[in-house]
Amino acid sequence: MALRMVATRPNPALVTLPWSEPLEEWGDDVVVQLPRGISRHVVRIVRLGQDVYAVKETRERFAFGEYRLLRDLVKLGLPTVEPVGVVDGRVDADGTELEPCLVTRHLSFSLPYRSLFNHGLPPQNMPSLVDALVVLLVRLHLAGFFWGDVSLSNVLFRRSAGEFSAYLVDAETGELHDVLSDGQRANDLEVAGTNIFGELLDLQAGGMLGKEVDAFAIVDTMHERYDDLWAELTRTEEFNTDELWRIEQRIERLNGLGFDVDELDIVTDWDGSTVRMQPKVVEAGHHRRELQSLTGLNVEENQARRLLNDLASFTAHFELGGEDRSVVAHRWLTQIYEPIAARVPAEMRQRLEPPEVFHEILEHRWYLSEKAGKEVDIFDAARDYMGEVLSQRPDEAITSGPTTGEMAAIRDAAPGEG
């Protein structure tokens, strides 16, 4: 049987991987140690030059189905890992057929939820992870995606200005529809509650989450946050014609949540006394698109919000409000952001992404200023942060393998992404 690769813009070096060996036997000559989660499949993370990929063994119909579904989700602009291809026709040295492999591009600076807690994430940050998962789930549901297996294990998290952004990793059970029914959404929520409850108990059993954390309360919060966000994005609102300001107010609330409204459905009664309004097209990433248009920086939503706030402070401090905003943004980028990013020592650049470093420097500057009783220069704050804080953080782009405690949890499941 001939080896076959179906791929989009593949790295030619992919063909050099040991496809004739079962994935669980791949050695350290190709496998790279990155933060790892628990998977129902055998998964290995490999590096080819500057590119890092996750390779998952699965059945043929699942491999090709997930590959095509992930491609559709990427085209819709949804937060998910990028599919690279499927390798089929694998046989070992004895001629025995091996399962096909799905190849996805590794999401840089991302961590499974277990690794976040293993890195010392405080228990009070658990709601932030749940909020990130809720935003991801709502975005997927708005696009007509039925997940089927919602869990923390099927998500990768990236830091976003002290919060988190969630990315879909495993779409094997997913289906893409024009519109989801209430029943399909309710099913995803029920599965999410069951899985998250079990994952929280697992963290507590492993000593990574304190017993004081109430798993029932976290699940209840997840349901409440989902219902609130879904209602804000989709509900129909009625008001009188002398309250048209409420249209702008609704849009501002959605912008504050990080969503743009591209289209509104506005209907008035026959006598024009009552207005009915519903957002028809809602797109996430309001602040990140604004920042990218001004500076070219492509960052997470909360990071963009924080950087835009600093740009506003820069504008006010130097009294530049009368100048073209794009010109001011360029000055901020070249005089503040880029020089600070360039000061991060090479040996620390695997620890956090530049926008997250900048956010933490702003936090550190506030702390130093409060302590000193006066405003501290941002470059002085950056120097102190790198020496006192960043130097003590673990690498998050590349780390060693799982700890002894994690090994007990993954003994019967191969580590990986998926």
In the prediction, which pLDDT does 274 show? 83
Give the number of other Cβ atoms within 10 Å of residue 169's Cβ: 25
pLDDT band at 55 (very low <50, low <70, confident <90, very high): very high
Contact partners, residue 253, CB within 8 Å, separation at least 6: 232
Q: What is the pTM (predicted TM-score) of this model?
A: 0.82
Same domain, 257 and 314: no
Could you tell me if residue 414 is inside a domain?
A: no
Residues 274 and 352 in one domain: no
- Pair (156, 268) in one structural domain: no
268 domain residue, yes or no: yes
Give the total number of structural domains in the chain. Answer: 4
Residues 122 and 79 in one domain: no
**Would you say residue 407 lies in a domain?**
no
Which CATH number does the domain housing residue 228 bear? 1.10.510.10
State which of 84, 107, 130 marks the end of a domain: 107
Residue 403 lies in a domain: no
In a domain, 401, yes or no: no
Q: What confidence category does residue 13 fall into, taking pLDDT thresholds of 50, 70 and 90?
A: confident
Range 240-261 average pLDDT: 86
Please write the tens of the pLDDT for every residue from 311-358: 999 999 888 888 999 999 999 999 999 999 999 999 999 889 999 999
CA nearest to 79, candidates 135, 41, 127, 124: 135
Determine whether 189 is exposed, middle or buried from the number of CB atoms within 10 Å of its CB (0-12, 13-18, 19+): buried
Residues 280 and 262: their CA atoms lie apart, in Å, by: 8
Residue finishing a domain among 107, 135, 166: 107
CA 141/CA 176 separation, integer angstroms = 9
Task: Tell me, yes or no, whether 230 and 131 share the same domain.
Answer: yes
Cβ count near 391 (within 10 Å): 12
Is 418 a domain residue? no
The bridge status of strand 51-57 relative to strand 175-176 is: unpaired
Is the residue at 305 inside a domain? yes
Q: Within this chain, do residues 117 and 225 fall inside the same structural domain, yes or no?
A: yes
* Claim to verify: residue 241 and residue 220 sit in the same structural domain: no
Residue 233 pLDDT exceeds 70? yes
Domain ends where: 73, 90, 107? 107
Same domain, 133 and 245: no
In a domain, 370, yes or no: yes
The answer on 48 and 96 residing in a single domain is yes
What is the per-residue pLDDT across 125-174, written as a single tens digit (0 to 9) for each?
888 888 999 999 999 999 999 999 999 999 999 999 888 999 999 999 99
Residue 408 binned pLDDT confidence (cut-offs 50, 70, 90): very low
Instruction: Say what the pLDDT of residue 406 is.
Output: 39
Q: 45's torsion region: left (phi>0), alpha (psi -120 to 50) or beta?
A: beta
Longest dimension (CA), the chain: 80
Q: What is the CATH number of the domain that holds 84?
A: 3.30.200.120
Instruction: Say yes or no: 124 and 221 in one domain.
Output: yes
Q: Chain-wide mean pLDDT for the chain?
A: 87
Identify the pLDDT of residue 38: 62
Tokens of residue 21, six digits: 């060996």
User: What domain range includes position 335?
Assistant: 289-392
> 133 and 80: one domain?
no
Q: Verify that 116 and 211 share a domain, yes or no.
A: yes
